[in-house]
Structure 1
């Protein structure tokens, strides 16, 4: 849900073709990964839709990488936004980096996505929105630790990578939006 909100925010503010851009990117970057996790769980390839066992995540990352690359290519055909273009490249890069990290450490994707979304959504509209998006991010990372889905180091690593991705997007695409 945070990925979809972030993609819609980014496209609405920066892309005249935002309906097409968001339709393609939300399906490829948010809907397909969620569907893959559910199908993997239903077929016994993962213990749950959050794929808490990092050894079960390899297939997930492979399928999501294909979806992300195809979605990025389709998005790049319709977008007129440098921000959306950068978001596509960052999405692909994050899948590759996270899959590599997963080989030895279970980084929290929830923390990564919530940190990235908190900054990008605020930058799209107003930095004052950090007053709303930062607590959502904090709640997400607290819940992952509280529910014993991740350790503190896993949510810290995910948050750090999400913030790094946000910084790359903000400064790679040009002057920050807000």
Structure 2
């Protein structure tokens, strides 16, 4: 591999790490709490940290045991159990925040709905959860902190390139994930 190709692969990998759904949802949760219900910021931080730790521990265990080829659950057959765990954890996070009484509860429900759609679609297409999460967060942040929302929208093409460069997704999977996230973000805005 040439130095340029190696640098390109490294940049793609770091882009995918920095814009991983865990990071994107953590930032979104903290921004939402900060802007909508500052008193809930500590509770939100604890909840999102625990939720991510549970899912990450599971992902690492699956990868280290050899059951998964990558930490991204890149094989479509690896995803159903990941979706099931994430949905249970997200529901627990919603409950931890206070359920329907939480100022940010509708956002968590929108994410759960988005993951349900991605899980059902997984039968036919492995939608990029990286793209879905960043697209959703970008739309959600437009009303919370417009500068952050615009920055997230502008990062979408870079993330899409990185997912393609790393061969984690095909072009339809990248576009499909983006569309799902954008639609879920728009639906959240309409319902609020």
Superposed pair shares fold, TM > 0.5: yes
Gaps in structure 2 of 5+ consecutive residues: 1-22
Deviation of 1:36 (Å): 2.1
**Residues 14 and 131 (structure 1 numbering): CA distance in 2 closer, same or farther, change over 3 Å?**
closer
Listed as ranges, the matches of 1:91-170 within 5 Å are 91-126=111-146, 128-170=147-189
Larger gyration radius, structure 1 or structure 2: 2
**Residues 77 and 116 (structure 1 numbering): CA distance in 2 closer, same or farther, change over 3 Å?**
closer
* 1:99-146 deviation line (CA, Å, top 9, x unaligned): 1111121110011011112222332112x4444222222211111012
Listed as ranges, the matches of 1:1-178 within 5 Å are 1-15=23-37, 16-28=39-51, 30-76=52-98, 80-81=102-103, 84-126=104-146, 128-173=147-192
Tell me the SS of whatever aligns to 1:46.
Answer: coil
Partners of 2:99 and 2:105 within 8 A in 1: no
* 1:132-175 deviation line (CA, Å, top 9, x unaligned): 222222211111012211111001000000001111111212xx
Q: How many residues align?
A: 169
Gaps in structure 1 of 5+ consecutive residues: 174-178
Tell me the SS of whatever aligns to 2:72.
Answer: coil
Q: Whole-Å Cα distance in 2 between the matches of residues 90 and 131 of structure 1? A: 20
Q: Whole-Å Cα distance in 2 between the matches of residues 172 and 145 of structure 1? A: 33
**Residues 138 and 26 (structure 1 numbering): CA distance in 2 closer, same or farther, change over 3 Å?**
farther
Q: Whole-Å Cα distance in 2 between the matches of residues 62 and 148 of structure 1? A: 25
Q: What TM-score, normalized by structure 1, do the two folds share?
A: 0.86
Over the aligned positions, Cα root-mean-square deviation in angstroms equals 1.9
